[in-house]
Amino acid sequence: MNNFSFYTSDEIKPLGWLRTQLEIQAKGLSGNLDKMWPDVRNSSWIGGDKEGWERVPYWLDGFIPLAYLLEDEDMIARAKNYIDAIISFQKADGWICPCDDDKRASYDTWAVQLITKVLTVYYDCSKDERIPKVLYKTLNNYYELLKSGEIKLFDWGKYRWFEGFIAINFTYERYKEDWLCELAEMLREQGADYNEAVELWKRPLNRWRFDTHIVNLAMMLKSEAVSCDILGLDYTDNAGYLHEILEKYNSTPVETFTGDECLSGLSPIQGTELCSVAEQMYSYEILYARTGDKKWAERLEVLAFNALPATISDDMWTHQYVQMSNQIACEKFPGKSLFRTNGNEAHLFGLEPNFGCCTANFNQAWPKFALSTFMYNGSTVINAVPVPSELKTEDKYIKLETNYPFENSFTYTVEAKSDFTFVIRVPSFAENITVNGEKQDACERLVFEIKAGESRVIRISFETSPYLQQRPNNLNTVRCGSLVFSVPVEFEKKMYEYERDGVERKFPYCDYELVPVSGWNYAYCGNEFTLDCKGVCDIPFSSEKPPVVVKARVQQIDWGLEDGYEKVCAKLPQSTKPIGEKQEILLYPYGCAKLRMTEIPLI
């Protein structure tokens, strides 16, 4: 079962906690960057004098589907204003980026690949019939310039060559012209081959490189899935092979890879860039649609329910550039940065800590995740990610009511005007599955044949149990289903309002340090854990009222600090000898614990 297609924002709507999460996002940075951030508000893309490369396209890539999923007329109008302005500046020959004609050769055309991808998103949401023609002109111009040698791929464009295939595939479906296949081949030939870089991934370097850059690698995972068909190549699951290497040498407990900002090895105190979380989620969505392989959907869930909310504040007005799995403080390093190639404030929560790419790019993660809940292949519909949502097409209606992943009960209301097959993906960790009260054998999917005129309610439940998952260096993480749990560290916020390089930080989009005020130096002293569901509040991944907790037994140990740092725990504890009494504490979901210890020993 493979080659699923995505539904569009007029067919899928978020419900329950997922809609709440998108509403919080719309009220935060995502919904307001065009009002207060110069690189979006005054961008060269719309005739201003600020950044004219990746930031407006990055922002639109998330803002557009967010606006349409929420059916927010003001946001939809603002998105259209940006698209109108971008289209209005397109040159007669098709060049669309804000760049003087005589500077095209030195302009990194990663921006061409990105803006064409954004235009496909806009078409899917708006059905604006101008877009296919704009894309045709843009890609044809790109083809002519590459073919003539007037431009070539370098830097980001070279290492993200496959990003252009989203629009190439879209355009080829409509025009079927051979030059699009030639363009695809030129991009592949000039682009980087990541299979040649795998040896570099096995040992972290304190050196910035394109082929170890964490965001490039997160994007790269979908490269074969988006390119093989138009290139006439067989799909080989190269992503699975490359993922295996990345995971072996650079994994974290929440399905990310360390990268601050290039690959950083197996360390719980190295960072992971937020852009990579958003891009890795998108890659997994594409990979699952292309293959139907459950491993990509399950990895997507772990990212979405843990890594993504952990690195963004509850109100979604601030974010980190990098997160750490063992993160006992988010305070500016007074001396040398802990990170390999990032600055000393990359882990603060703020408007644009370290660099502004994540400010614009994290916006795509939740909306595109919402659009991945249901997929289809012909007359088969699959519920790929079982979060609260609604599918409505001309001939079918499916409503899913659930608080998953915080609870494991699901109610599907299904109505059909024509026959279709309804498939529900079952997570591999599901135990004691029931369908309408009847026990089911363990399975990867549940299949229902729905007949025309039928209305049906399907109630499903399963159980999950918390357990210890081994991590490198004799450390452990508590898992339960797709949720990872951490020892939460209580903190106080220090707010900083200031202006730097013409960019103002003021409440609510100011910077914050998180200063720890509780203990963190724990080890588990037993492997029995109890899950306690608290219910989802008005902030789904609340750092104060988590929807679910795990009771665990711990003891304090002499963990120690990383050499040279006062607010960073040592990579590994200097001793596992207990220095305190056994006690019971509540573990929080990783996504709720802004300060946390996630990888700790068992004594």
- Structural domain includes residue 271: no
| Cα–Cα distance, 538 to 544 (Å, whole number) | 11
Phi, psi dihedral angles at 164 (to 5 degrees) = -70, -15
98-109 pLDDT, tens digit per residue, is: 999 999 999 999
Give the Cβ contact number of residue 81 at 10 Å.
12
Run of H or E residues at 422: strand 420-425
pLDDT for the residue numbered 1: 46
389: domain CATH number?
2.60.40
- Structural domain includes residue 452: yes
Please give, one letter per residue, the 3-state secondary structure of 431-477: EEEEECCEECCCCCEEEEEECCCCEEEEEEEEECCCEEEEEHHHEEE
Asked if 163 and 219 count as a contact pair (C-beta separation under 8 A), the reply is: yes
Q: What's the whole-number mean pLDDT along residues 541-569?
A: 97
| Token pair belonging to 87 | 């289209």
- Structural domain includes residue 594: no
Tell me the three state secondary structure of residue 401.
strand
pLDDT for the residue numbered 561: 97
Instruction: Say which amino acid occupies 14.
Output: P
pLDDT for the residue numbered 283: 98
- Structural domain includes residue 459: yes
Is residue 525 left, alpha or beta, with left meaning phi > 0 and alpha meaning psi from -120 to 50? alpha
Distance from chain centroid for Cα 430 = 24
Q: What's the whole-number mean pLDDT along residues 270-289?
A: 98
CA-based torsion, 205, 210, 215, 218: positive or negative? negative
In the chain, % of residues over pLDDT 70:
100
Range of the domain at 386: 375-463
The maximal CA–CA distance of the chain, rounded, in angstroms, is 75
45-92 pLDDT, tens digit per residue, is: 999 999 999 999 999 999 999 999 999 999 999 999 999 999 999 999
- Structural domain includes residue 391: yes
361-385 pLDDT, tens digit per residue, is: 999 999 999 999 999 999 999 999 9
Whether the pLDDT of residue 42 is over 60: the answer is yes
Asked if 354 and 340 count as a contact pair (C-beta separation under 8 A), the reply is: no
187-208 pLDDT, tens digit per residue, is: 999 999 999 999 999 999 999 9
pLDDT for the residue numbered 580: 87
- Structural domain includes residue 260: no
| Cα–Cα distance, 164 to 561 (Å, whole number) | 45
| Nearest CA among 476, 427, 428, 478 for reference residue 589 | 478
- Structural domain includes residue 175: no
Any residues with CB less than 8 A from the CB of 519 and at least 6 apart, and which? 489, 556
Q: How many domains does the chain have?
A: 1
In the chain, % of residues over pLDDT 90:
99
Averaged confidence pLDDT in the chain: 97
Q: What's the whole-number mean pLDDT along residues 491-508?
A: 96
Work out the burial of residue 44: count CB atoms within 10 Å of its CB; fewer than 13 is exposed, 13-18 middle, 19 or more buried.
middle
155-174 pLDDT, tens digit per residue, is: 999 999 999 999 999 999 99
Cα-Cα-Cα-Cα torsion 205, 207, 210, 211, nearest 10 degrees, comes to -20
- Structural domain includes residue 75: no
Residue 508 preceded by cis peptide, ω within 30: yes
